[in-house]
């Protein structure tokens, strides 16, 4: 039996192990409401992923490898510490992947972090 969904939200996780990339049958990963500051680049190896919920963590950027996920994948990253620059860099990586292969490049829901207000605006 292969693991297809992993729910580890609300666990005060500060990191995910690099070995997460070995769960190649994973279709859904829920890691919201933790304290993640980054995601391992190996997360981009989860080629079957259709849902990645990473909202309300402390992420400041997303690994470029996530842009290689299938177009059918949705990444929800609202409520993090993603700056406009980090979001634009990730969106550019998605555009590069889509130019190479139209089936690549996940849907990406985000909010832009405003350090002055301590909150994000939705995009």
Reported as a single tens digit per residue, the pLDDT across 61-112 is 999 999 988 888 999 999 999 988 999 999 999 999 889 888 888 888 877 7
**Backbone dihedral angles phi then psi of residue 22, each to the nearest 5 degrees:** -85, -10
Cα separation, 45 vs 88, whole angstroms: 22
Would you state the structure tokens that stand for residue 34, as one six-digit string? 């933790």
Which residues fall within 8 angstroms of residue 44, CB to CB, at 6 or more apart? Answer: 21, 63, 64, 65, 66, 67, 68, 69
d(CA 94, CA 3): 27
Closest CA to 88 of 69, 104, 67: 67
Exposure string of 12-31, with b = 16+ CB inside 10 Å and e = fewer, is eeeebeeebbebeebbbbbb
User: What's the pLDDT tens digit per position in 35-51?
Assistant: 999 999 999 999 999 99
Ordered by where they begin, the domains of the chain are 5-122 (3.80.10.10)
pTM summary value: 0.86
Q: What is the CA radius of gyration of the chain?
A: 14
């Amino acid at each position: 039996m292969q693991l297809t969904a992993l729910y580890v939200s609300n666990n005060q996780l500060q990191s995910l192990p690099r070995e997460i990339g070995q769960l190649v049958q994973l279709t859904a990963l829920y890691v919201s409401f933790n304290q993640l500051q980054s995601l391992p680049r190996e997360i981009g190896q989860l080629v079957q992923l259709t849902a990645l919920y990473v909202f309300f963590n402390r992420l400041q950027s997303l690994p470029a490898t996530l842009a290689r996920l299938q177009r059918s994948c949705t990444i929800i990253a609202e409520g993090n510490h993603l700056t406009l620059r980090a979001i634009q860099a990730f969106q550019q990586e998605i555009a590069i992947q889509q130019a190479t292969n139209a089936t690549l490049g996940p849907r990406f829901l985000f909010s832009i972090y405003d350090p002055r207000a301590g909150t994000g605006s939705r995009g």
